Amino acid sequence: MSIKRLSALFLAVILAILLINDSVFYYSTKKSLTANMETELFSLSQQIQLSIDHVEYSSQARDKLLSDSLRQVSLGVKAALPSRYRDIDNSMLAELRVKYNVSNLTLFAQIGDEIVSVRSSDPKEINLNAKYWGNYRTALEQLFRLETVTVSEGTTLQSFWAGKISGSASNPGSKRNKFGFYYDGTTDYIINPTMNSSLIEQFDQNDGSEFIVAETLKNNKSLLEITGFNPRTFSKPDDDPSFYTVTNGSKNIRYSERKILFGQYNSRSPEDVSLIEQAVKLDKPIFFPTKINDKNVLKIFYPVKSERVQFPYVIGLVNDMEYIHNSLNKQLLNFFLVIVSVSIASLIMVYFIYKGVNRTKDAVAQTIQENYTDEMNSLMVAIKGQNHDFTNHLTTISCMVQLKKFEETKKYIHELVEETRLVNSIVHVGHPALASLISSKITQSQLRKINFTYELDLADDLTSISGLKSVDLVKILGNLIDNAFDEVSGMNVEQRNVHLLGYTEENQLIFKLSNHISKSLSEKDLQAMFTSGYSTKKDGVHKGLGLAIVNQLVQRYKGTVSAEISGANTIQFTVILPIYS
């Protein structure tokens, strides 16, 4: 075979190797990055579920407080008004409404067999007939008979009943109202104080589900949308009668039947209805890559069944996939440059080979041999080095995505040296989920100016431990670290020290977390802090559930968790979990 043909064959083989490597790398990287994004969305959905559970717990307590408040308003109104509604005019109710800071005050009286609103601070509320009000009608009748209200929903107190949050018959635009009804037999009317949507939504803006949605979107730049779907009603048309009741010709919105429970629903796909039904039926998250407004996105539909919510719901997340495509496109450009470089190098090699043909036979043979050897060595080193770099690129990108470092992924090529240091510190933890958690907390600690350190002397592969779920391990340590961060955040910078120690001993996995505390704690406090609702924080945001969740998860694995004061103003939490390889 001629030198020309050998050179052409050699060049073709090299190009084929590079193209095959390029294709394999492209699809494996895309698959890996997509899988990592799915894991990230799954974890984020679990975090949102926990937050919504906390909100629901708070909402139930808040609903009870609203009911108590409406009853107190009723007592004050009763003391200020005559006992007969005919001696009362609407202006008196208007003044009392302002005094007690409620949305409306209405009086209901029995007129024949009907229960009708006879006086109100809002003219639209007068002459409303409760005939078709269902449970509300039943509750009003029982109050007039001086009986304890036995309606299953709402809150019953002495001489008082408050319904669950619902729409308004006189004001269809007000979808969230809290109605209270008081009657003790000393008047000929029932007192009905009301709080409307504007007052109730003020609570949600501070710590409700919409606040959680806004904060989550703000902290996850690639997350485009969060939606809470009601699977019982989502597939129904908007004019379905189950969405409202009709009173005196007005539609009364049934707030509990709304299609969207929280968040926004703008990223619509025709497949959403069937995907939500599938997620509920299979009781597992469903992932769906699609394109919306010319943007590649990944959707997840995460079904939730919890004792703290009234009915099951589905969390929908929409995540931007553009950064994956941008990363892959950059890699393709790099591969193209490599192919061009290799082609040019091969052509140069061929040129020198041809040039050597004009020399003497021995000189030509020697020159060809030397050039061939040198070029082959150089070329193979380049190929091996490039393959090595490709492997490193894949590993680095995959790790950074697992670590939620989406912005850093976009800047990867320009910041390789700095990111390599971070990745190397993570690889040796020996547990992907734990490594991701620690890295995330390191990032948080830097933003909050907290000195977070850790020592982990664990098995090379914690994932081989039988029965210990990664998500539970992350919940246990995540809650402990979050509590420690919250505690030290209010201290001077030099006191913001949090240290995590982890090691295995015989058949036990042991973690110890220590941090400074702002005030001394008694032995009673140390014992009570693992019970639900206990908290030393007075900011109204923390609900005292973190350590209760830790205790519950540890007991599930027949382990122990304890707290003790070690040293001056330092608390240490110890978690011991039995392990079986």
Provide the token pair at 514: 């220590």
Query: CB under 8 Å to 262, separation ≥6 — which residues?
Result: 52, 209, 210, 212, 213, 226, 227, 228
Largest CA-CA distance found in the chain, in angstroms, rounded: 129
- pLDDT tens digits for range 432-455: 778 778 888 887 888 889 999 999
Q: Give the residues across from 229 on adjacent strands.
A: 260, 314
Each as own residue / partner, the long-range contacts of residues 83-90 (CB below 8 Å, 24 or more positions apart, any chain) are 83/186, 83/187, 83/188, 84/187, 84/188, 85/109, 85/118, 85/119, 85/187, 85/188, 85/189, 88/119, 89/119, 90/119, 90/120, 90/121, 90/123, 90/126
How is residue 81 annotated by DSSP?
S
Note the pLDDT of residue 377: 42
Provide the token pair at 144: 């007039």
Question: At the topology level of CATH, where does 208-324 sit?
Answer: Beta-Lactamase (3.30.450)
Provide the token pair at 325: 């495509």
How many C-beta neighbours within 10 Å does residue 142 have?
A: 18
CA 242 to chain centre: 30
- pLDDT tens digits for range 191-246: 999 987 565 666 555 557 888 888 899 998 889 999 999 998 898 888 787 776 66
Note whether 303 and 283 are within 8 A (CB): yes
The CATH homologous superfamily for domain 428-578 is: Histidine kinase-like ATPase, C-terminal domain (3.30.565.10)
Distances, alpha carbon 94 to alpha carbons 54, 100, 356, in Å: 37, 10, 107
275 pLDDT above the threshold of 90: yes
Q: Using alpha carbons only, how large is the chain's radius of gyration in Å?
A: 34
Pinpoint the residues of the chain covered by CATH 3.30.450.20. Answer: 208-324
Note the pLDDT of residue 581: 56
Question: At the topology level of CATH, where does 62-201 sit?
Answer: Beta-Lactamase (3.30.450)
Specify the residue for token string 């009673």.
524
Distances, alpha carbon 277 to alpha carbons 129, 232, 235, 283, in Å: 39, 9, 9, 10
Phi, psi (degrees; rounded to nearest 5) at 303 = -75, 140
581/578 Cα distance (integer angstroms)? 10
Note whether 314 and 297 are within 8 A (CB): no
Phi, psi (degrees; rounded to nearest 5) at 415 = -125, 35
The residue among 498 and 28 whose pLDDT is bigger is: 498
DSSP-derived 3-state class of residue 316: strand
* Intra-chain end-to-end CA distance of the chain, in Å: 60
How is residue 165 annotated by DSSP?
S
Note the pLDDT of residue 510: 93
- pLDDT tens digits for range 373-391: 333 343 344 344 445 555 6
343/329 Cα distance (integer angstroms)? 21
375/369 Cα distance (integer angstroms)? 10
Distances, alpha carbon 577 to alpha carbons 461, 467, 472, 510, 561, in Å: 16, 11, 12, 6, 9
106 pLDDT above the threshold of 80: yes
Q: Give the residues across from 160 on adjacent strands.
A: 157, 182
Provide the token pair at 293: 């407004």
Extract the runs of DSSP E, i.e. beta strands, from 168-312: 178-182, 190-195, 223-229, 244-247, 250-253, 260-263, 286-292, 295-304
Flag whether the pTM goes above 0.75: no
525 pLDDT above the threshold of 90: no
- Tell me the mean pLDDT in the region 1-10: 67
343/176 Cα distance (integer angstroms)? 70
What is the percent of the chain with per-residue pLDDT over 90, rounded to a whole number? 32
What one-character-per-residue DSSP string does 117-159 give? Answer: EEEESSGGGTT-B-TT-THHHHHHHHHHTTPPP--SSSEEETT
Specify the residue for token string 């799915």.
38
User: Within 13 Å and on the Cβ side, how many CA atoms surround 460?
Assistant: 0
DSSP-derived 3-state class of residue 571: strand
Which burial class, exposed, middle or buried, applies to 212 when counting CB atoms under 10 A from its CB (0-12, 13-18, 19+)? buried
Note the pLDDT of residue 368: 32
